[in-house]
A and B are shown apart, each in its own frame.
Chain A
Amino acid sequence: MYWWLSMSWTVLRSPVAIALAAVAGALSRYYVSLGVNHLVEHLWEPVHHLLGMGLPLSTLVVNVTGCGVMGFAATLCFHPQLQVHPDVRLMLLTGFMSSYTTFSSYELDSARLFAHQQWGTDFLYWAGSGIVGWLCLEGGSWLAHQVHQKFISSRP
């Protein structure tokens, strides 16, 4: 009986880690989106008007910040010196970061801008999300290398 329990736990551990982190990731995405929409509506009204184009900022902010953190976390998680447990990797990267960011909402926003015939904004959002996301990922990765050199590899 106990043998069976421990067997099933080793099998179930990864999916449970992913599921728990996915809930946290998806809810973080939801609340960050709400926050960004709130800011855009209340604080950044002049800026929003100045831009004069319904840029879907909430998804953009989520994806760009997610890419930055992903670069940082993936670099540290896969660092050979740190030996991060595979289940921790699954939890942080596959569970949390990948659920926090979203590709389908990005493409949906893009299709909606296209349908509203805002070609310029659409292209800016469509191409900009990918390029800025990639740059942020490289930035996060660079930061992780710095942190590793300064604080971890110098540890006795």
Chain B
Amino acid sequence: MSWLPVWIALGAIPGALCRHYMILFCTQQWGNHFPWGTFIVNLSGAILMGFCTTIIDNNIPWLNGLVAIGFIASYTTFSSYALDTSRLWQQKRYKLGLLYFIGSALAGFLGVELGIFTAELVHHG
């Protein structure tokens, strides 16, 4: 029997809770005019994902399960991103909605690249 699902579950709990409290904090700080919480969570998660998957050795599946599949993948969320876009659109804030939709995807991509770049810097000195 593989213990991987257990590691994933252990990572998912802090991942989801970090996301929840991070989004609460951002909403308290900046209000809900713009979904800053989901944006910051997804961007920071993308940077972490790039960094951690580059650093973590592929020969250690449990660590990959705990950190990448468990923690970071649960920390970030695709469905809330789509839901936020849909809400901005429903509020007829089309420009802001489109900016959030494209901006998140673009920032996330650059975030992963930044994470990989940093990991390689750390790794090779």
Contact = CB atoms under 8 A, between A and B. Distances in A.
Interface of A: 15, 18-19, 21-23, 25-27, 29-30, 63, 66-67, 69-71, 74, 90, 93-95, 97-108, 110-111, 114, 126-127, 129-130, 133-134, 136-138, 141
A66 to B, nearest CB: 5
B72 interface: yes
A63 B83 CA distance: 12
Given A90-B20, A107-B112, A137-B86, A26 B70 contact: yes
Contacts of B74: 22, 25-26, 98-99, 102
A30 B49 contact: no
B9 A15 contact: no
A126 B110 CA distance: 12
Contacts of B109: 107, 110-111, 114, 126
Given A19-B13, A22-B13, A99-B74, 12 more contacts: A29-B69, A67-B79, A74-B83, A94-B16, A94-B19, A95-B16, A98-B19, A102-B74, A103-B46, A104-B48, A104-B72, A133-B79
- The binding surface of chain B is classed by DSSP as helix
Given A133-B78, A134-B86, A19 B16 contact: yes
A19 B78 contact: no
Contacts of A138: 86
Contact of A15 (B17, B49, B112): B17
Contacts of B20: 15, 18, 90, 94
Nearest to A100: B79
Given A90-B20, A104-B72, A111-B112, A25 B12 contact: yes
Contact of A108 (B12, B49, B70, B83): B49
Contacts of B13: 19, 22-23
Contact of B105 (A98, A99, A130): A130
Given A22-B15, A30-B69, A137-B79, A105 B49 contact: yes
A130 to B, nearest CB: 5
B94 to A, nearest CB: 13
Contacts of B119: none
Contacts of A111: 50, 109, 112-113, 116
A102 B70 CA distance: 10
B49 A104 contact: yes
